[in-house]
Chains A and B, each alone.
Chain A
Amino acid sequence: MTNAPTPSIAVTKQEPGGALSFYGVWLIAAAALIVLPLIFSSGGSLTSFSLIGIAIIFALSYNILLGQTGLLSFGHAVQYGLGGFLAVHAMNAVASHNWPIPLPVIPLIGGIGGMAFALLVGWVMTKRAGTVFAMISLGIGELVASSSLILRSVFGGESGITTDRTSLMPLFGWTFGPQIQVYYLIAFWVMISAIAMYALTRTPLGRICNAVRDNPERVEFIGYDPHVVRYLAYMFAGFFAGIAGGLTAINFEIANSAYLGATQSGLVLFSAFIGGTAYFFGPILGAILVTYLQLGLTSVTSVWQLYFGIIFIGIVMFAPGGIAGILMKHRPLIRAGTLGTVIPSYLVAAIPTLALALGVILTIETVARFSGDAAINLLGIPFVATAPTTWAAAAVLVVGGFLVARITWRRVAEAWDRAATVARDRGYLA
Chain B
Amino acid sequence: MTAAIQVNAVEKSFGNVQIIRDLNLSVAKGERHAIIGPNGAGKSTTFNLISGHIKPTSGEIRLNGEVTSGLRPFEINRRGLSRSFQVTNVFARMTVWENVRCAVLWATGHRYAFWKNVDTLPEVKQRTAEILDEIHLSHRRDVPAGLLTYAEQRELEIGITIAGGASVIMLDEPTAGMSHAETERAVALIRRLTEGRTLVIVEHDMSVVFGLADRISVLVYGHIIASGTPEEIRGNPKVKEAYLGEEVD
CB proximity to B under 8 Å, residues A1-47: 3, 5-6, 8-9, 11-14
| CB-CB nearest in chain B for A12 | B142
CB contacts (< 8 Å) of B238 on chain A: these are none
CB of A206 within 8 A of CB of B72, answer no
In the assembled complex, A393 has its CB within 8 A of some CB on chain B: no
CB of A218 within 8 A of CB of B105, answer no
| CB-CB nearest in chain A for B89 | A218
Chain B 108-128: CB-based contact to A (< 8 A → 1; otherwise 0) = 001111111111010000000
| CB-CB nearest in chain A for B148 | A430
Q: Which of A13, A204, A236 contacts B116 (CB 8 A)?
A: A204
CB contacts (< 8 Å) of A430 on chain B: these are 143-144, 147
Q: Do A203 and B118 form a contact, CB below 8 Å, given A13-B142, A221-B83, A224-B106?
A: yes
CB proximity to B under 8 Å, residues A207-243: 207-208, 210-211, 213-215, 217-225, 228-229, 232, 236
In the assembled complex, B90 has its CB within 8 A of some CB on chain A: yes
CB of A210 within 8 A of CB of B118, answer no
Q: How far is the CA of A199 from the CA of B118 in the complex (A)?
A: 10
Chain B 182-222: CB-based contact to A (< 8 A → 1; otherwise 0) = 00000000000000000000000000000000000000000
CB of B94 within 8 A of CB of A211, answer yes
A103 to chain B, nearest CB (A): 28
CB contacts (< 8 Å) of A220 on chain B: these are 72-74, 77
Tell me what chain A mostly uses at the interface: helix, strand, loop, or mixed. helix
Q: How far is the CA of A343 from the CA of B51 in the complex (A)?
A: 53
Q: How far is the CA of A207 from the CA of B111 in the complex (A)?
A: 11
Chain A 161-198: CB-based contact to B (< 8 A → 1; otherwise 0) = 00000000000000000000000000000000000000
Residue among A11, A204, A225, A430 with most chain B CB within 10 A: A204
In the assembled complex, B54 has its CB within 8 A of some CB on chain A: no
CB contacts (< 8 Å) of B78 on chain A: these are 223
In the assembled complex, A200 has its CB within 8 A of some CB on chain B: yes
In the assembled complex, A205 has its CB within 8 A of some CB on chain B: yes
B59 to chain A, nearest CB (A): 22
Q: Which of B94, B106, B116 contacts A214 (CB 8 A)?
A: B94
Q: How far is the CA of A232 from the CA of B112 in the complex (A)?
A: 9
Q: Do A208 and B112 form a contact, CB below 8 Å, given A11-B143, A225-B74?
A: yes
CB of A8 within 8 A of CB of B93, answer no
CB of B117 within 8 A of CB of A203, answer yes
CB of A6 within 8 A of CB of B74, answer no
Q: How far is the CA of A208 from the CA of B95 in the complex (A)?
A: 13
CB of B92 within 8 A of CB of A214, answer yes
Q: Which of B73, B91, B117 contacts A199 (CB 8 A)?
A: B117
CB of B77 within 8 A of CB of A210, answer no
CB contacts (< 8 Å) of A218 on chain B: these are 85, 89-91, 160
CB contacts (< 8 Å) of B60 on chain A: these are none
Q: Which of A13, A202, A208, A210 contacts B119 (CB 8 A)?
A: A202
CB of B146 within 8 A of CB of A6, answer yes
CB of A6 within 8 A of CB of B92, answer yes
| CB-CB nearest in chain A for B101 | A207
Q: How far is the CA of A374 from the CA of B156 in the complex (A)?
A: 64
Q: Which of B83, B90, B117 contacts A215 (CB 8 A)?
A: B90
Q: How far is the CA of A353 from the CA of B80 in the complex (A)?
A: 58
Chain A 419-430: CB-based contact to B (< 8 A → 1; otherwise 0) = 000000000001
CB contacts (< 8 Å) of B51 on chain A: these are 221
| CB-CB nearest in chain B for A203 | B114
For the A-B complex with A6-B146, A430-B144 known, give 10 more contacts whose Cβ atoms are closer than 8 Å. Answer: A3-B92, A3-B93, A202-B117, A208-B105, A214-B92, A218-B90, A221-B83, A222-B102, A222-B164, A223-B107
9 nearest A-B pairs in the assembled complex, by CB-CB distance: A223-B106, A6-B146, A220-B73, A214-B91, A205-B114, A204-B110, A222-B103, A204-B113, A223-B77
Measured CB to CB, the residues of B under 8 A from A are: 51, 72-74, 77-78, 82-83, 85, 89-95, 98, 101-103, 105-107, 110-119, 121, 142-144, 146-147, 160-161, 163-164
Query: Could you list some 7 contacts between A and B, CB below 8 A?
Result: A12-B95, A214-B91, A214-B93, A215-B92, A218-B89, A220-B74, A222-B105
